[in-house]
A and B are shown apart, each in its own frame.
Chain A
């Protein structure tokens, strides 16, 4: 006796993976391009004990441009997964590092918590909820890393 699939789950999975991967590409590239036309990263970075030192070395503008470049490169590398999975893995590692950075801002930026409703900290939409979403994006990045490494191996053998 077999159980017939009611919904083609594998097809949904394929669509979900494509939307997750290329959604990540769109998000990284678009926000990366934004770093060249305006600068909003410094309010996050200047309060971070891990990162504020960078402004001793580089101007606000240079930091934004460097971050934007890193984000665009990571997006481009993640996008080439069907052709060069190994390169895509490198892009995924870059994305993981970028998101670890942005998640750390959740703990270092003042004014993220607008108050408390009982036990629940009220995160302002901007930038608190904006940063919180990176918790999912880092999961996607680790998944694209694992997926690209798997693809790289099967292509290489």
Chain B
């Protein structure tokens, strides 16, 4: 069961990051993330350097790349670990939006900690962050096991 769960979690993450990453190339999504980025003290300067659509496209490249790296775990575990690391960074960034974006609290329910739909959308990344860290550890362990096999084979030869 934990192997099924591991595959579901990893490739669920691939679908989520890959799909949302592809959307970053559309103007719909580029404008969708604008309020998140422009209110972030850590990230708002990026709109001084890039246009809204360019920054979104760059994020899209990063996310689709991350999804691909996460997916190649059965063949290249070490490479896949890099994808996990980027995913951890991405999710830390999105979780930070919970604290920097106005409108995360639901005004109809008295504001924070009652979360609006946007807030609920972002809070789910707390669990996704855990999965990203787990895929990182799992890929590193697989990489090390593969290395041991290679070394053992070389020693035998």
Q: Which residues of A contact B (CB under 8 A)?
A: 1-3, 5, 7, 9-24, 26-27, 30-31, 33-34, 37-38, 40, 114-115, 117, 120, 122-127, 129-130, 132-140, 142-143, 145-147, 149-150
List chain A residues, Cβ under 8 A from B7. 139
Min CB distance, A122 to chain B, in Å?
6
Q: In the bound complex, what is the Cα–Cα distance between A96 and B12 (angstroms)? A: 14
Of B12, B131, B148, the contact of A3 (CB 8 Å cutoff) = B148
Interchain CB contact under 8 A, A132 and B127: no
Q: In the bound complex, what is the Cα–Cα distance between A96 and B8 (angstroms)? A: 12
Interchain CB contact under 8 A, B127 and A20: yes
Min CB distance, A32 to chain B, in Å?
11
From B95, which residue of chain A is reached at the shortest CB distance? Answer: A23
B 118-133 binary contact with A (CB < 8 Å = 1; else 0): 1011011111111111
Report the number of A-B residue pairs with Cβ-Cβ less than 8 Å.
183
Q: Can you list 7 contacts pairing A with B, beta carbon distance less than 8 Å?
A: A12-B134, A13-B137, A132-B15, A132-B16, A133-B125, A135-B12, A139-B6
Q: In the bound complex, what is the Cα–Cα distance between A16 and B15 (angstroms)? A: 19
B 128-154 binary contact with A (CB < 8 Å = 1; else 0): 111111111110110010011001000
List chain B residues, Cβ under 8 A from A3. 144, 147-148, 151
Given the known A-B contacts A127-B117, A138-B8, are A31 and B123 also in contact in the complex, defined by CB atoms under 8 Å? yes
Q: In the bound complex, what is the Cα–Cα distance between A27 and B138 (angstroms)? A: 24
From B128, which residue of chain A is reached at the shortest CB distance? Answer: A136
Of A19, A30, A31, A126, the contact of B129 (CB 8 Å cutoff) = A19
Min CB distance, A81 to chain B, in Å?
14
Tell me which of A1, A11, A16, A31 has the highest count of chain B C-beta atoms within 10 A of its own C-beta.
A16
Min CB distance, B56 to chain A, in Å?
12
List chain B residues, Cβ under 8 A from A11. 137
Interchain CB contact under 8 A, B151 and A20: no
